[in-house]
Chains A and B, each alone.
Chain A
C-alpha cells in the first residue's frame, strides 16, 4: 500500500464547475499537507499549505484536512481553463528532514 493515494484521473469538468480533488494517506505521522499544481513539462508550484484539521481558504481554492480519517481535499471554485494542470498532494512528517511524500497527481482539464 502506498503511503499516499491519489486518483490519477483524468478529470474533465466544464468551466465554472466546482472541482474536488482528494488524497488519502496511511501514515499518521504526516502533520503538514500541501497541494501543488504542475503544468506540463514544468516544476510543481505550491498552491496551499496547512497543518491542522479543518478548512483553509485562499481565493478560489479551499484546502480541507481531516486527520481522523487521514483524508485531504482541494476544492476549486469557478474553475477556469487555466486551472487545467496536474494537481499533486504532498505530505511531510514533523522532524522528517523536510522530505515530502507526493501523491501520483490528478490530471484536471477544464473545458470551455
Chain B
C-alpha cells in the first residue's frame, strides 16, 4: 500500500526554539495533506489542511503563526512549530490521500513525538 513517511519520529527541543516536521508521500502524489495533533489517550484533532501551492487552511483555535505549514511539492508538506513551549509537547501526525488514484484511503505517517523542555 501507499506509504507516508514522517520525519523525525521524535524530537526534544528547548523552549523558544523552532522545530520542523516533514511529511512525504513516497509513492503517490498528494495535493492535500492533513496535520493532526494527538494528546495522550485522546483522539486525533485536525490542526490544518495543507494545500500544494497555496496557503494552508487552519481549524478554529489553531494559531497559524505558530504552526507554519508549507506544501511546496506534491509529495512534501512541512509543519514548523515556532517558538515552541512545553504546552506544544504532543504527538503530531500527518496524513495524505492519493490525488491521482481511485482509492479514498487516507494514509498516515508514523507520527512525531515532540517534547519541549
Contact = CB atoms under 8 A, between A and B. Distances in A.
Interface string A86-104: 0010000000011111111
Contact of B106 (A46, A97, A103): A46
Interface of A: 6, 8, 32, 34, 36, 41-46, 49, 88, 97-105, 107
Contacts of B110: 42-43
A41 B111 contact: yes
Contacts, number: 56
B43 interface: yes
B44 A102 contact: yes
Contacts of A98: 32, 34, 97, 104, 106
B42 interface: yes
Contacts of B46: 99-101
How big is chain B's contact interface, by range?
Answer: 20 to 34
A41 B113 contact: yes
Interface string B38-72: 00011111100100000000000000000000000
A85 to B, nearest CB: 13
Contacts of A105: 41-43
A43 B93 contact: yes
Given A43-B6, A98-B32, A49 B43 contact: no
A59 B24 CA distance: 31
Contacts of A42: 110-111
B3 to A, nearest CB: 11
Given A43-B95, A43-B109, A98-B104, 6 more contacts: A41-B111, A44-B93, A44-B108, A97-B49, A102-B43, A105-B41
A96 to B, nearest CB: 11
B105 interface: yes
